[in-house]
Amino acid sequence: MLIVTAGLVYVEYRLQQVPNSYSVKRYDFEKQLDSIQVVVLGTSHSEYGVNPEYFSHYGFVLGTVGQDMYYSTALLNKYLTQLPKLKLVIIECDYMAFNYSLSKVKEDWRTSSYYRFWGVKSDNWDPFQIRNYSIISLYTNSLVKEIIKKGFDTNLAVDLNYNGWRKITVSKNDDRISEQLGKARVLLYDTIMANNHDNGRIRKYLENMLDELNRRKIKAALITMPVYSTYSKFCNADILNKNRSYIDSLCNKYGCTYNDYFKDSRFSKDDFYDNDHLNLLGAEKCSKIIDAEIVSKAIK
């Protein structure tokens, strides 16, 4: 029994040393706090689709896969007082943004990653959830075995750039872009939103953040990232209209701007990795557009 316990303790310790997308992003972000002028908040759409390398002012993508509005606001609030040069916060508002909570979906394991690697508790905190304290429990068995086989000498964030952008280099997308896959993706999102019954709380997080940014005289810009037509054509028009109405009300109340790239004709199939994520080329194009239409105008 002692041998087994010692083995588990050893594996747990070694897993803590293995870089992952959460730990690496925090490390890179904290190294650059004194320089960052633009922070981009959002989901995988912005993490894959916005590369601050093409900004005219120093930026960092503080969004990641599955991130909801609670974690976007919680991460920014955690560091606001440590960002002396921050001038602009770009907030991604995608199809699900106002009707989605990470703690209520199958990928809710990510909430433990925020706690383990960012020190941010879930808005639905469970102190008895073992994965909050054990990386062995947080990672899948297959992943732990793979890491052990490599002698713990691996990096789970090899595609993550120093500025928070996650690079997709794959160019061929015929097996990932189709009406069938796009429809299935939207159906999944529609189901997630239908099961969420507390969008008022989600919106409150965003509104509180906009209040705080106004108080600090930091500009806010809302954006909707581009998707391919095989995705957008299946989105619920009522949800899109309600999202737009809410965004307009935020802009009127808080003085923020909004740029809608959802169906932007400047993006073609070659710019996408799949139905709703940009690839390397698309990220470059999108980032240059965002700089020209948002960043350079907001920061003089």
pLDDT in tens, the chain (300 residues): 777 678 788 899 999 999 999 999 999 999 999 999 999 999 999 999 999 999 999 999 999 999 999 999 999 999 999 999 999 999 999 999 999 999 889 899 999 999 999 999 998 888 889 999 999 999 988 999 999 999 999 999 999 999 999 998 776 788 999 999 999 999 999 999 998 877 788 999 999 999 999 999 999 999 999 999 999 999 999 999 999 999 999 999 999 999 999 999 999 999 999 999 999 999 999 999 999 999 999 998
Long-range contacts of 290-294 (CB under 8 A, 24+ apart): 290/50, 290/55, 290/90, 290/223, 290/259, 291/54, 291/55, 291/56, 293/259, 294/88, 294/90, 294/221, 294/223, 294/257, 294/259
Query: How many domains, in total, are found in the chain?
Result: 1
Token pair recorded at residue 266: 């400047």
CA distances from 155 to 21, 28, 67, 108, 160 (A): 9, 15, 21, 23, 10
Task: Say what the pLDDT of residue 4 is.
Answer: 66
- Domain encompassing residue 32: 2-298
* Residues paired with residue 259 on neighbouring β-strands, in sequence order: 223
* 3-class SS of residue 79: helix
CA dihedral 98, 104, 106, 107 (to 10 degrees): 70
Residue 8 Cα to chain centre, angstroms:
32
pTM of the full structure: 0.95
| Of 161, 169, 158, residue with least CA distance to 282 | 169
**Tokens 């969004």 appear where?**
63
Task: Say what the pLDDT of residue 90 is.
Answer: 98
Among left, alpha and beta (phi > 0; psi -120 to 50; other), residue 240 is alpha
User: Would you give the DSSP letter of residue 110?
Assistant: H
Token pair recorded at residue 227: 């998707």
Q: Positive or negative CA dihedral for 254, 257, 259, 260?
A: positive
Distance CA 218, CA 83 (A): 11
The domain that holds 66 is classified in CATH as 3.40.50.1110
